[in-house]
Amino acid sequence: MKHGVKFYGRRLGRSLRVHKTNLVEDLLPKLNFDIATCDVFDPHVLFPESIKEYVLEIGFGGGENLVYQASQNPEMGFIGLDPFMNGVASLLQHVDNQQIDNIRLSPLDARIFLEKLKPASLSKVFTLFLDPWPKQRHHKRRLVTSQFIDLCATKLKSEGELYLATDHKGYEIWMRDAIANQQSLKLVEEFNTEFTRPSFIPITRYEEKALNQNRFAHYFRLIKS
Ligand SMILES: C[S@@+](CC[C@H](N)C(=O)[O-])C[C@H]1O[C@@H](n2cnc3c(N)ncnc32)[C@H](O)[C@@H]1O
């Protein structure tokens, strides 16, 4: 167990098809990065000099949001973290098809990455549909806690934004409590997809899964003032 942080999700799913295996072998090494050798990680080392703003997505899954945000904002650098290799391979396919050059990736657990990240270096953090761990005895595995929000806050610039989303009612209530128990970020907007959804975030694979099962999603937008 590294740094006392344990990742409970899957790292591997079904075997990858040939094209995705090739992308993992050829494209991933160009986008992948590690932070093992630095004490403080400055994201500017990942991108060309012209890029001055950085956005993080934690648990990008199939990469739908990361790819959308990166293609809409070519002047910003996007960092995606997800240890699930099948998701990484899907993201690589989008990056390759759309020739996107402002995404960098790591399989690191978000908590390890955030601890080393330079303070006040991010403009936005997306954390969408992370595992809700519905059983009571697994609640301690949930990523979003007030401490996690505080940690994100230290890495956001002034006016930086944190987006949280879930389709699990219990996790929504848990997130609301976590938000209430921290003072670093201000809750400025909520969306419930029964009525409305944020127009600037695409429907990800997990939101679509929820919609197909008649479950609505809840989004929280928080800002650092
Ligand atoms: C349920 S999927 C949702 C994926 C995507 N955000 C979506 O909306 O379709 C959650 C993803 O978060 C990743 N994940 C869970 N805990 C994480 C952590 N501590 N750091 C980085 N990624 C994590 C998992 O590997 C998984 O791919």
Instruction: For 71-115, write each residue's pLDDT tens digit.
Output: 999 999 999 999 999 999 999 999 999 999 999 999 999 999 999
What mean pLDDT do residues 34-39 have? 91
pLDDT value for 18: 83
Would the pLDDT of 1 be above 50?
no
pLDDT value for 113: 96
What mean pLDDT do residues 175-185 have? 97
What pTM, to 2 d.p., does this model score?
0.94
What mean pLDDT do residues 162-170 have? 98
Q: Give the position, in ligand 1's atom list, of the atom nearest the Cα of 207.
A: 8
The CA 214 to ligand 1 mean position distance, Å, reads: 21
Q: Give the position, in ligand 1's atom list, of the atom nearest the Cα of 87.
A: 27
- CA of residue 104 relative to chain centroid, distance: 12
CB 100 within 8 A of CB 67: yes
The CA 183 to ligand 1 mean position distance, Å, reads: 25
pLDDT value for 68: 98
The tokens describing 185, both together, are 């970020």
Per-residue confidence band for 127, with pLDDT thresholds at 50, 70 and 90: very high
Q: What is the CATH number of domain 25-31+41-223?
A: 3.40.50.150
Pocket of ligand 1 contains residue 143 by CB under 6 Å: yes
Pocket of ligand 1 contains residue 171 by CB under 6 Å: no
Domain extent listing, the chain: 25-31+41-223
Pocket of ligand 1 contains residue 163 by CB under 6 Å: no
From 10, 14, 35, 82, the mutation candidate for ligand 1 (largest count of ligand atoms within 8 A of CB) is: 82
Instruction: Tell the residue nearest (CA) to atom 13 of ligand 1.
Output: 59
From 68, 130, 141, 144, the mutation candidate for ligand 1 (largest count of ligand atoms within 8 A of CB) is: 130
CA 140, 133, 155, 118 dihedral sign is positive
pLDDT value for 11: 76
Would the pLDDT of 5 be above 90?
no
pLDDT value for 190: 98
pLDDT value for 3: 56
The CA 58 to ligand 1 mean position distance, Å, reads: 7
The CA 60 to ligand 1 mean position distance, Å, reads: 6
Here the contacts of 204-209 (C-beta below 8 Å, separation 24 or greater) are 204/61, 204/62, 204/64, 204/65, 204/128, 204/129, 205/61, 205/62, 205/64, 206/61, 206/128, 206/129, 206/167, 207/128, 207/129, 207/165, 207/167, 209/167
Q: What is the mean pLDDT of the chain?
A: 94
Pocket of ligand 1 contains residue 125 by CB under 6 Å: no
pLDDT value for 80: 97
Pocket of ligand 1 contains residue 81 by CB under 6 Å: yes
Q: What are the strands of the beta sheet with 218-223, ordered from one edge?
A: 103-106, 76-81, 53-58, 122-128, 156-166, 218-223, 186-192
Percent of the chain at pLDDT above 90?
87
The CA 59 to ligand 1 mean position distance, Å, reads: 3
